[in-house]
Amino acid sequence: MKRFRWGMIGGGKGAFIGGAHRIAAKIANSYELIGGVFDVNFERAKEFAFEEDIDLKRVYPDIDAFITSENKMPSSERIQVVSIVTPNYLHFEHAKKLLSNGYHVICEKPVTLSSTEAVELKEIAIKKGLVFCLTHTYTGYPMVREMKRRIEAGDIGVIQRVDAQYLQGWVNPIIHGGNARLSVWRLDPKVAGISSCMGDIGVHAFNMVEYATGLMVKEVLAVLSTLKPENTLDLDGNVLLRFDENLTGVIRSSQIATGEENNIQISVYGTKGAFHWEQENPNILKMMHEGAPSEIITPGYDYLSSFARDSHVLPPGHPEGIYEAFGNLYKGAAMAIRGEQTVPGQFPGIDEGIRGMQFIEAAVRSNKEGNRWVSI
Ligand SMILES: NC(=O)c1ccc[n+]([C@@H]2O[C@H](COP(=O)([O-])OP(=O)(O)OC[C@H]3O[C@@H](n4cnc5c(N)ncnc54)[C@H](O)[C@@H]3O)[C@@H](O)[C@H]2O)c1
């Protein structure tokens, strides 16, 4: 099986999530890093490429230089798929240029700065027949996939409550640290977009809600907080969800929940039972039953769904984690690029990107307009 010639935009030296993408690509065993625009600083990009043993001729100062040079290569040498791991405001421009020129795209969330931009990307991807993978990482965990399949199979009956949270505390010292906030791009609306907390992490919780339940949220009512008037963007928020007249839910999300690390959790309650999963203990899926003891479900067993089994390589008791979850998305994207059959939920795509942007926009609007219900 040949590896795809793979490029990256962003993700160079010192970047947070770029390294996870490279490990994911390695785990998927379907990509070889050939070149890219690894850094906003060209010299640092070249240092990175040297350390990674990448041909310096394939290191570019910007996206236009990348496209001009790569397009001139024979198709047998040209980069085929590109991951975008830059700050949010660059995703749309880079994805649009890449898709328009025939490159498959793997993109970080939030996919763009608006749902209109996300819809435009979808149209280009469809027109060009290209794969677009959106790295909502947590959908790659085997126990999340097991939960999804069991909910689809009706194992907990009809869903009657959904409760999700994504709590972090890392912004707390920054926000109380004088001008420290000015060096954090996630707090700058020109770079991050219209929301910090909902845009950066609330959107993961929203994606998890729709992924796990298979249901679509129809309306949201948001109460967001900037904590201090000098902060432009929300740092904390509670968002009520309405799926239909009988089913509601909630997303609680914060970047100032002091002491919290990366605490994304979901509970889905049905008429017969419930599921609970949390990212900080990702190999445990708790299944609760009406009138019977709870079960603890863990990866690596034959009795799991084929989707969960295929998402975990090692035997039971050998914990896999975030890199493998990322790797599962990269595996799914590679299957789609090869034209192989994928299963529902194999990797999030541009539709999930559009939903995410609609969620962020609706939450911000609801908060601004007096905490009223806003449809998605
Ligand atoms: N899926 C997840 O779980 C997850 C986790 C973390 C971050 N993210 C997302 O990943 C993206 C990057 O976040 P991060 O925390 O790694 O950011 P970061 O600031 O650590 O890294 C950004 C990288 O982009 C590069 N860059 C900036 N401007 C550029 C330009 N014009 N051209 C080329 N490269 C440029 C920087 O040099 C750096 O290498 C964000 O959209 C973020 O929301 C997703």
Tell me how far the alpha carbon of residue 315 lies from the centroid of ligand 1, in angstroms. Answer: 34
Strands (DSSP E) found in 280-367: 285-289, 292-297
The atom of ligand 1 lying closest to the CA of 11 is 39
Residue 187, amino acid: L
Strands (DSSP E) found in 38-107: 81-85, 104-107
Which residues are CB-neighbours of 165 under 8 A, at least 6 positions away?
205, 251, 252, 253, 263, 264, 265, 266
Residues 221-231: pLDDT tens digits?
A: 999 999 999 89
The atom of ligand 1 lying closest to the CA of 94 is 32
pLDDT confidence bin for 178, thresholds 50/70/90: confident
For ligand 1, mutation pick of 64, 91, 108, 201 (most atoms within 8 Å of CB): 108
pLDDT confidence bin for 1, thresholds 50/70/90: low
Closest residue by Cα to atom 7, ligand 1, is 17
DSSP 109-145: SS-SSSHHHHHHHHHHHHHHT--EEE--GGGGSHHHH
Tell me how far the alpha carbon of residue 11 lies from the centroid of ligand 1, in angstroms. Answer: 6
Tell me how far the alpha carbon of residue 25 lies from the centroid of ligand 1, in angstroms. Answer: 17
Ligand 1 site residues, Cβ closer than 6 angstroms: 9-12, 15-18, 37, 39-40, 85-88, 90, 108-109, 135, 137, 200
Question: 3-class SS at 165?
Answer: strand
Tell me how far the alpha carbon of residue 90 lies from the centroid of ligand 1, in angstroms. Answer: 9
Residue linked to tokens 């240029």 = 97
pLDDT, position 183: 87
CB 372 within 8 A of CB 366: yes
**Residue that wins the pLDDT comparison between 77 and 1:** 77
pLDDT confidence bin for 314, thresholds 50/70/90: very high
pLDDT confidence bin for 150, thresholds 50/70/90: very high
Residues 158-171: pLDDT tens digits?
A: 999 999 999 999 99
Closest residue by Cα to atom 2, ligand 1, is 137
Residues 85-134: pLDDT tens digits?
A: 999 999 999 999 999 999 999 999 999 999 999 999 999 999 999 999 99
Residues 320-376: pLDDT tens digits?
A: 999 999 999 999 999 999 999 999 999 999 999 999 999 999 999 999 999 999 999
Quote the distance between the C-alpha of residue 276 and its chain's center: 20
Buried b / exposed e over 248-281, threshold 16 CB at 10 Å, is: bbbbbbbbbbeebebbbbbbbbbeebbbbbbbee
CB 354 within 8 A of CB 119: yes
CB 200 within 8 A of CB 192: yes
Cα–Cα distances (Å) from 246 to 58, 158, 222, 242, 348, in that order, read 55, 11, 19, 8, 27
For ligand 1, mutation pick of 13, 37, 40 (most atoms within 8 Å of CB): 40
pLDDT, position 50: 98
Tell me how far the alpha carbon of residue 188 lies from the centroid of ligand 1, in angstroms. Answer: 14
Residue 142 has pLDDT above 80, yes or no: yes
How far the first Cα of the chain sits from its last, in Å, is 42
CB 193 within 8 A of CB 116: no
The atom of ligand 1 lying closest to the CA of 12 is 39
User: Can you say whether residue 171 is alpha, beta or left, with left for phi > 0 and alpha for psi between -120 and 50 degrees?
Assistant: alpha
Structural domains of the chain, ranges and CATH numbers in brackets: 4-137 (3.40.50.720), 140-314+346-375 (3.30.360.10)
Between CA 322 and CA 328 the distance in angstroms is 10
Closest residue by Cα to atom 22, ligand 1, is 86
Question: Would you state the structure tokens that stand for residue 270, as one six-digit string?
Answer: 């049905």
- Global model pTM greater than 0.85: yes
Cα–Cα distances (Å) from 100 to 88, 96, 103, 128, 142, in that order, read 19, 6, 8, 7, 34
**Share above pLDDT 70 across residues of the chain, in percent, rounded to a whole number:** 100
Tell me how far the alpha carbon of residue 18 lies from the centroid of ligand 1, in angstroms. Answer: 7
Residues 240-298: pLDDT tens digits?
A: 999 998 999 999 999 999 999 999 999 999 999 999 999 999 999 999 999 999 999 99
